[in-house]
Amino acid sequence: MHLVTYIGLAHHSEQTLAESLRVIGDGHASQPDVLHTCHTLAGFSDGHLARLAPIVARYGEQGHGEVEEPERLHAAGLAQVRSGPVGLLRDLQDLHVLATLVLTTWTVINQAAQGLRDHELLTLAGEAGGETSRQLSWLNTRMKTAAPQALIVAT
Amino acid sequence: MDRIADLWGPRTPHAKGTVWPARVDQYLADGLAEDQVDRWVQSACLLCSNGCGCEIAVRDGRMVGIRGRAGDVVNHGRLGPKGLYGSTPWASSPDRLTHPLVREAGRLVETDWDTAMARIVEVSRRLLADKGPLTHGFYTTGQLFIEEYYTLGVIGKAGLGTPHMDGNTRLCTATSAAAFKESFGADGQPGSYTDIEHCDAIFLYGHNMAETQTVLWSRILDRTRAADPPLIVCVDPRRTPVAREAERTGGVHLAPRVGTNLALMNGLTRELFVNGWVDEPWVRAHTVGAADLRSIVEPYTPREVARVCDVDAGELSRAARIFGESRDVLSTVLQGFYQSHQATASAVAVHNLHLLRGLIGRPGSGILQMNGQPTAQNNRECGADGDLPGFRNWDNPNHVRELAELWNVDPLTIPHWSPPTHAMQILSYAEEGSIGLLWISATNPAVSMPESARVRRVLAGDQCFVIVQDLFLTETAQLADVVLPAAGWGEKTGTFTNVNRTVHLSEKAVDPPGEARSDLEIFLMYADAMDFRDRDGAPLIRWRHPEEAFDAWREASRGRPVDYTGLTYEKLRGPTGIPWPVNDQAPEGTDRLYTDAVFPTDTDRCETYGHDLLTGATVTEQEHRALRPAGRALLKGARHTPPHETPSEDYPLLYTTGRTVYQWHTRTKTGRARTLNDAAPDAWVELSVADAARLEITEGDVVRVESPRGAIQVRARVGQVREGAVFAPFHYGAWDPAGLDVDASPSRQANELTMTVWDPVSKQPYFKTAACRVTKIRAGAGPAPAPTTAASAPATDGVPPTAGGPPTTTRRVDTPHYPNDPGAR
């Protein structure tokens, strides 16, 4: 069952997103809203991971020999930050890409959960997807705010 | 009567539902008698946000005193200590700025207006040519007039086209505006001061009204000291006079741990749900979001709130019961919520409580989200703070088009591609140099903004050209490249609007000193020199005088919730200020909003589509349409998160800043009123009895208070603050009546310690959540310089009481008829 592949993808991509949010937040600490909001948003992902644990236990996860993982499944996280206003903009854009991967993963899982009539998984996929949308909304808001100054005026 | 010793004056108690009796307070300087006054000039007081109607006494071309206007709906003749003693002395202070100054070889030197303005215009034109309007930033205040804000708003938005406009209102009242927008769709105070006369309970959230709005507090005292008093509930980490009144009336004082307001509010909200105090049919008909709110507050049981906030679970439940079971409730909110952690969510929670019970829009059931400053409301209305004029939505192309047509400019000139830039972000752009011209009017960020060392560095640096327009050479003006001398209150004509939407006209009483000019004249001078034009090549700014500017603003407000179309200078010369909206439907003004429970939340009308209260992410137009609020109020919530800085081993105490009754802002005016300054002449910190004992600190000891960002050295008052918290007044900078010592070390400035961090929605900086440590430096010689009369009262006896105000008069007069007052019908 390929669902386990996607449960594995959810697990891995949420983890990557949480770590990357913290790296970017800490790296742009001179922008306090970026610092603090990135940590809050990373907390969302931590919560999803915690709730995913019992589901992983039920279905298993890729990497346990059941299903072969397709190549190039995972997105790499952000290990370091760029500097300056344009650097911040690009970092937020990268976070947006990671969060989009998380969101579509939950969308796909949600579909499967309906087919399986798995209420626990369905609730998690719905709520985690909703919170991922909130992560994306903030990233989008912050990028729109930063873009004019960064692209037109900043040196 | 000594109004330093007696902050609120004599009581005039009266029964519920009756009109607050009139009482006229008056003060004349230098022992002058009334018959020595040449003339009285109509105005309203500028020394807090209450907006008391008053008259300025003039003798020999000088302002020499003040008296309340008995017919004014705001104050019924009363004035507070700051208004009485502080309104006029600054004006004739010998250190007024009387000439423009420019920086030459590192020093500020006197010059003429042409030279100063030419220097500004040269920088402005160069930056516009090089990189466009995003190089320009404006940082104003809550103390200019409507005419000045609106003119500057048009210059910034239609002349230059910069989104970088904000005021110190961001530090004082941004959360009030943001909370209104989230709940009701637009800014606008729902309640009225007349709610005090009709309510059964008053909840004051983070609002030490007894000191911040003394006249409003005397209005409450005249109810609580009557035979049928309302119950008072106070949420404050200090045992303020409000807290003591709560105890006296059988109400509740909740002193939550600093930074946990939202957990407390979620607990109160949950109590309404679980005890069946929710008016289900009303909520169904007039709100959106009850089910989501209920699930957000569900975990906040009284026990959980007791754990997070360190309050008594039973007292929390008792407070909730008072809210749940009183027929009519008035709520007021101020800096204890606005400048603290999760500010907007906490202020919105106050709305939620009222909406869940349908307590809005009728006498006695009101909300007063307060302001700190007298004209803060106008900065929000007129567009000098970045919001579009007339509570228009920057994200709504139709609203932008309306303004473009009014001003006859290309809609793309008006910056509306993202939210207006907030003050701390403007500072950050100035720091990196992408804002190359920063124009500061009538405010003193070098003392009032958080993390002072950083602010000084940004303003003093070469990366940004700084213009300061003020009455005095403040700590901020010292750092400027050009300093412009401004006329103050009583030296110019204009209008302004108080907390409960009441508009007053303030007439010019005397000429400004030297070459000082009104802020309106200065902005017009800049507009002329820059030659801003509309789409047809005509001058963009088509007015010269205050009254013409007011008329232009009136047109901008037409058809919006903040409708001024029924107001004229002539009408405002009547016996009282008039609350907006004033239009054909309400020619005499409007005492309270939302009497029909229809809110400006319609997607096409609202001022904002809203935000995620936890993260600040904006709601899109499509999402808002999908919600279909259509005139229903929005119930919104968020879970509590820990503050950004919590106590640690190194910094074990919580640091919070605030106000004292005798000083105002950075003391530019009150510090020059000897009577007021003598009552609170120097900075201090307040410690609880338990913390002081543990640190072996006694009253008056010199202590060092330190956070990861800076330190101050001041004297300690062992007082009324809750255990674990330290309170410091924010008023004191390097300037003192004795002189200015910018290199003073160690500092006494409270903001040396505060953090650069702000609310995700309102963007209001948090001045009340930092960690600190306190160490004793040496024993003091006598008590701390803190007043004894209010929240700073000492815990122990033996400190001489604060007193010594020269005599004022106070007399009862027949209570006139107040238009719109529900008790008068």
Each residue's pLDDT tens digit, B579-614: 999 999 999 999 999 999 999 999 999 999 999 999
For B1-92+808-825, give the CATH class: alpha beta
- Residue B542 CA, distance from chain mean position: 31
CA–CA gap between residue B524 and residue B155 (Å, rounded): 9
CA–CA gap between residue B203 and residue B583 (Å, rounded): 32
Beta bridge partners of B104: B107
Cβ neighbours of A20 (radius 10 Å): 25
Structure tokens at B230: 């309302």
CA–CA gap between residue B482 and residue B525 (Å, rounded): 15
Q: Residue A131's closest CA among B762, B614, B300, B609?
A: B614
Using CA atoms, how far residue B428 sits from A120, B133, B522, B801, in Å, is 46, 17, 26, 44
CB spacing of B134 vs A85 below 8 angstroms: no
B756 neighbourhood in chain A, CB within 8 Å: 32
Q: Residue B687's closest CA among B698, B675, B677?
A: B698
A56-68: per-residue pLDDT in tens? 998 876 554 455 5
Measure the CA angle with vertex A16, ends A10 and A17; round to 5°.
Answer: 85
For B55, phi then psi, to 5°, come to -130, 140
Please give the mean pLDDT across all residues of chain B.
Answer: 97
Whether A47 and chain B come into contact, CB under 8 Å, resolves to no
User: What is the SS3 assignment for B110?
Assistant: strand
Residue B43 burial class via C-beta count within 10 angstroms: exposed 0-12, middle 13-18, buried 19 and up: buried
User: What is the SS3 assignment for A76?
Assistant: coil
Q: Tell me which amino acid residue B228 is.
A: D
Please tell me the predicted confidence (pLDDT) of residue A84: 92
Pairing of strands B107-110, B101-104: antiparallel
Please tell me the predicted confidence (pLDDT) of residue B744: 77
If residue B631 lies in a helix (H) or strand (E), which one and from where to where? none
Pairing of strands B809-812, B23-28: antiparallel
For B101-173+375-484+514-579, give the CATH class: alpha beta
- Given a cut of 70, the residues of chain B with pLDDT beneath it are 825
Give B174-370+611-634's CATH code, choosing from 3.30.70.260, 3.40.720.10, 2.40.50.140, 3.40.228.10. 3.40.228.10
CA–CA gap between residue A13 and residue A69 (Å, rounded): 14
CA–CA gap between residue A84 and residue A87 (Å, rounded): 5
Contact B695, B774 (CB under 8 A): yes
Q: Report percent pLDDT > 90 for chain A.
A: 79
Q: Which of A134, A153, A155 sits opposite B615 (nearest CB)?
A: A134
Contacts of B738 (CB under 8 A, 6+ apart): none
Write out residues 18-37 of A within 8 Å (CB-CB) of B: 30-33, 36-37
For B678, phi then psi, to 5°, come to -65, -25
A96 neighbourhood in chain B, CB within 8 Å: none
Chain B, nearest residue to A142 by Cα: B617
Please tell me the predicted confidence (pLDDT) of residue B418: 83
Contact B543, B527 (CB under 8 A): no
If residue B707 lies in a helix (H) or strand (E), which one and from where to where? strand B702-707
Name every residue in B having a CB less than 8 A away from some CB of A. Answer: 131-132, 134-135, 163, 417-419, 421, 424-425, 428-429, 432-435, 612, 614-619, 641, 644, 755-758, 760
ipTM score of complex = 0.93
For B793, phi then psi, to 5°, come to -55, 140
Please tell me the predicted confidence (pLDDT) of residue B152: 98
The domain segmentation of chain B, as residue ranges, is 1-92+808-825, 101-173+375-484+514-579, 174-370+611-634, 653-778
Residue of B170, B292, B615 best to disrupt the A interface, most CBs of A under 10 A? B615
A138 neighbourhood in chain B, CB within 8 Å: 612, 615-617
CB spacing of A149 vs B433 below 8 angstroms: no
Cβ neighbours of B221 (radius 10 Å): 20
Please tell me the predicted confidence (pLDDT) of residue A64: 47
- Residue B377 CA, distance from chain mean position: 8
The domain segmentation of chain A, as residue ranges, is 3-64+83-153
Whether A148 and chain B come into contact, CB under 8 Å, resolves to yes
Structure tokens at B804: 């010594």
CATH code for the structural domain at A3-64+83-153: 1.20.1260
B616 neighbourhood in chain A, CB within 8 Å: 33, 37, 138, 141
CATH code for the structural domain at B653-778: 2.40.40.20
Q: Could you tell me where the beta strands, DSSP code E, fall in B278-341?
A: 287-288, 329-333
Q: Residue B357's closest CA among B415, B460, B272?
A: B272
User: What is the SS3 assignment for B778?
Assistant: strand
Please tell me the predicted confidence (pLDDT) of residue B741: 77
A27-40: per-residue pLDDT in tens? 999 999 999 999 99
CB spacing of B617 vs A140 below 8 angstroms: yes
Please tell me the predicted confidence (pLDDT) of residue B75: 98
Contact B99, B47 (CB under 8 A): no
Measure the CA angle with vertex B239, ends B238 and B240; round to 5°.
Answer: 95
Q: Which of A33, A140, A147 sits opposite B760 (nearest CB)?
A: A33
Decide whether B1-92+808-825 matches B653-778 in CATH topology. Answer: no
A89 neighbourhood in chain B, CB within 8 Å: none
Please tell me the predicted confidence (pLDDT) of residue B740: 74
CA–CA gap between residue B460 and residue A87 (Å, rounded): 27
End-to-end CA distance of chain A: 52
Chain B, nearest residue to A140 by Cα: B617
- Is 90 exceeded by the pLDDT of residue A71? no
If residue B774 lies in a helix (H) or strand (E), which one and from where to where? strand B770-778
B139-187: per-residue pLDDT in tens? 999 999 999 999 999 999 999 999 999 999 999 999 999 999 999 999 9
